[in-house]
Chains A and B, each alone.
Chain A
Amino acid sequence: MVQALYTKKVMEHFKKPHNQGVIKDATIVGESGNPLCGDVMKLYIKIDKKKIKGKETEYIKDIKFETLGCAAAIATSSMITDLVKGKPIDEADNVTKANIADSLGGLPPIKLHCSVLAVEALHKALKEYKTKK
């Protein structure tokens, strides 16, 4: 197998992940895992309302992650928090695994599933929030 190396961007996020930690009074928590590689991810999300273009909009006020996993899993966790923080929840819901991988300058093929972990945790959390409402 040709083993591609991680991009500089992945290593930057791995070295100094953004928004790592817990939000004690999170509105919702999303969790995902991959049984094959054993990696687990948790996203803590705080949702609030503000006026955006004159309209009351629900948005992600704060987001933090906890991840047990490989460098790609940690970097994608960090990247997804950057991508959705401050965004209206409908917009955040549209983030795809390709968005994350692209923002990181790509991932080795064998590590693409790590970005799935991050979007899964996000989508699960937002879905739960919407049905709970």
Chain B
Amino acid sequence: MNYVDIHAHMISRSTDDYDRMALAGCVAVTEPAFWAGYDRRSADVFADYFDHLTDFEPKRAAQYGIDHYTWLCLNPKEGENRELARQVLEIIPEFLDRPNVLGIGEIGLNRVTRNELATFKDHVDLAVANDQLIHIHTPHLEDKYKGTKVIVDTLAADSRVTPSRVMVDHAEEHTVGMILDNGFWTGLTLYPVTKTSPGRAVDMIERYGTERICVASACDWGPSDPLAVPRFIMEMRRRGHADDLIRTVVYDNPIAFLGQSPKFRQPRGSAATAALV
């Protein structure tokens, strides 16, 4: 089944992974800017990173018939450094016009500090000023509930933000309700240990329906699986769900959210591209 992985850090993955993802049905990925595993020392390093995300990576994906899009930001794990954030926020606009940039992300919170929150709000200002979609990282593990609540409350109180243009990602059972109830899109991250298993993701689909919910691998340099979405598809089938319903979650929904950006092109195999043939 064709699918879109809305969260994949392909810079950390090998070309073999693109090959396997394409074989498994992946037609498009979106890659949010994230933490390299160490704190970067200057905005110049980010400029190189953004260049990679907007030039090298889409070319590498295209060899396998996968459309590659990206989101730019200084990620929450470096958000404590307000001076670095100021410098990076200054260079992001230079890259916003590149053809595969869909918006600002993955912004949000890590340990939920005052500085992280200030950096998050600065990014929201930048997104609003440039009419960009927003992709949000919610914190991990014990910090998820608190961080998601702070993010949702902050955005819900900001009248400039249109919730349907915001993806609040990495939802789990104790946060998915508050995200959807406030009108945002959400993503379930299929991670081996620290986030959600395919089985629990299917449970959340059964309990919350398919409206405004996507699933993603969030594959990166840590323990993660670039084929997590196909595994979710297998689990949905094992639980007896019809392919039409599965396609809504792994294909139609991501396209509906991402399609709000004029830069997003209907992927190969979609109804819109089939009509052109």
Whether chain B is bound by chain A comes out as no
Interface of B toward A, CB cutoff 8 Å: none
